Amino acid sequence: MMTKATTLAKLRERPVAPGQHLIDGAWTDSVDGSTKEVISPIDGKVLTRIATGGEQDVDLAVRAARRSFESGAWSLMSPANRKNVLTRLGDLIDLHKEELAVLGVRDNGTEFKMALKAEPGSAAGSFRYYGEAVDKIYGHIAPTAEESIGLISREPVGVVGAIVPWNFPLMIAAWKIAPALAAGNSVVLKPAQSASLSLLQLARLAMEAGIPKGVLNVVTGSGSVAGEALGVHPDVDVLAFTGSGVVGRRLLNYAAQSNLKRVHLELGGKSPNIVFADAPDIDAAVATAINGIFRNSGQVCTAGSRLLLQETIYEEFLGKVISGAEQLVVGDPLDPATDIGAVHTLDQLKSNLAYVETATAEGAVLRTGGKRIHESSGGYYMEPTIFSGVRPDMRIAQEEVFGPVLAVTSFTDEQEAIELANSTSYGLAAAVWTGDLSRAHRMIRRIKAGLIHVNCYGGSDITVPLGGMKQSGSGHDKSLLALDKYTEIKTAWISLNEGIN
């Protein structure tokens, strides 16, 4: 159902209360009282202020999480009751979906139509999915000799630290929080400092749904302070992170310096979208290529930022992509007519524009876009940008821009396409467009990426895992496999010999 314009207008103007930490079931200021302005990318204006957490705040949150875990209020709650709470939380998210979506758009700039589906829509589905999974996780009995029995069971790990990015805060947080809670753990969540508002609202709904105090804690603050404090804390058992490779390496170091906590990382990508001349629907491939890079201003971990075209269709296909990109409406993300919203921050916009300069200097051909637009609005907007003639050694072909910038390269045959696809340090996602089923299977086998699309891009649901290869990270969000990150496997070996009481 379409959201009414009057509803959007009211939610757009709703005052946003200052944000506090949620620690042990109570909303609290930072120990040192520090706060930070929240700037909306829509118009560059101050939305509100949020607490800026430090080491003491993180320690209080971790201690609260540990107490709640050891108390058994959640960890020993019957699976059926945990299921009821998590599915209720999914229902509450659905009930407040428009409020959550608009709040998130004001905070991070995603176009509303996409935000409504990808943020509260996805989060609600994740909590329901893992809620339904809670009472369907079984242990095993080993095939032992007659005199012994081996019982293999799963237990919650304890305290989970989750650090999530700003591009899809609700969706990605739910991918981590929902399975962690379903397994019986307690959680300390650190949102991105520049996109915390919707996650603070999620925490309110979690308490309303019946999550016991201390089981879900939220500390807002910078990655360099609050994130590091969570990474080095000796009482955090597992750390789950989505973000940059630079920060991912730091978190691995923090784990080594502290208690060797398990660290699961999703570190982005430079995903190839490969189109062969025998693609079954060229127009669908064009439309999908445009959406695959320019939605959310290219601020998507799995964005199809490299378009690899077979040389016999290169010019025709590229021309259609350029034409389609130039027709996209970039602007106010809360305007229903908008196709692409704002770049999240001024710093991110400047970084995107710097990549445009670098690509041009390295010899790539700018075919459209490349400029900041709507600057008079005060917001952060950028034209959809396309470069052709991109060589695999160029920075624009190797580094994750995380903006609306598409790098286009030609290839001659299947072997060259595979070599180009695997020519970066990343391995998160990829796509292959072909009418040859055998070729599709060969490409799936040989491309080093955790998620391979065939004749589509995006759209995989919660039932399948998302995880990377190479420097895109390790561990998986989504699907039942995500529960592996948040559980311990325990073996009980029992003697059945007579005479042992």
Residue 1 has pLDDT above 70, yes or no: no
Considering Cα of 345, then 350, then 354, then 360, what sign does the dihedral take? positive
DSSP 284-302: HHHHHHHHHHHGGGG--TT
pLDDT category at 69 given cuts 50, 70, 90 is very high
Q: d(Cα 411, Cα 314) in Å, to the nearest integer?
A: 9
Considering Cα of 62, then 67, then 73, then 74, what sign does the dihedral take? positive
pLDDT category at 4 given cuts 50, 70, 90 is confident
pLDDT category at 501 given cuts 50, 70, 90 is low
Q: How much of the chain, in percent, has pLDDT values that exceed 90? A: 97
272-459: CATH superfamily:
Aldehyde Dehydrogenase; Chain A, domain 2 (3.40.309.10)
CATH number of 5-267: 3.40.605.10
pLDDT at position 459 is: 86
Residues 197-212 have pLDDT tens digits of 999 999 999 999 999 9
pLDDT at position 230 is: 98
Residue 40 has pLDDT above 90, yes or no: yes
Q: Count of alpha carbons within 13 Å of 123, Cβ hemisphere only?
A: 32
In eight-state DSSP terms, residue 120 is I
pLDDT at position 498 is: 77
Residues 241-263 have pLDDT tens digits of 999 999 999 999 999 999 999 99
Residues 138-147 have pLDDT tens digits of 999 999 999 9
* Residues carrying an active site annotation: 266, 301
Q: d(Cα 345, Cα 362) in Å, to the nearest integer?
A: 26
Q: How much of the chain, in percent, has pLDDT values that exceed 70? A: 99
Residues 390-407 have pLDDT tens digits of 999 999 999 999 999 999
pLDDT at position 319 is: 98
From residue 251, alpha-carbon distances to 136, 163, 238, 486 in Å are 33, 10, 11, 17
**Can you tell me the mean pLDDT for 439-446?**
98
Residue spans of the domains in the chain: they are 5-267, 272-459
DSSP 134-146: GGG---EE----T
**Can you tell me the mean pLDDT for 76-94?**
98
**Cβ–Cβ < 8 Å for 71, 51:** no
Q: d(Cα 72, Cα 69) in Å, to the nearest integer?
A: 6
**Can you tell me the mean pLDDT for 1-10?**
82
pLDDT at position 153 is: 97
DSSP 154-211: EEE-SEEEEE--SSSHHHHHHHHHHHHHHTT-EEEEE--TTS-HHHHHHHHHHHHHTP
**Cβ–Cβ < 8 Å for 276, 434:** yes
User: Which amino acid, one-letter code, is at 476?
Assistant: H
Residue 158 has pLDDT above 90, yes or no: yes
Query: Which two tokens mark 377?
Result: 């609005």
Residue 499 has pLDDT above 70, yes or no: no
Nearest to 43 by CA among 338, 369, 401, 334: 334
Question: What mean pLDDT, rounded, does the chain reach?
Answer: 97
Residues 466-491 have pLDDT tens digits of 999 999 999 999 999 999 999 999 99
From residue 199, alpha-carbon distances to 91, 122, 296 in Å are 16, 14, 19
Residues 291-308 have pLDDT tens digits of 999 999 999 999 999 999
pLDDT at position 5 is: 82
Nearest to 93 by CA among 203, 214, 197: 203
pLDDT at position 414 is: 98
Q: State residue 162 phi and psi, 5-degree precision.
A: -125, 125
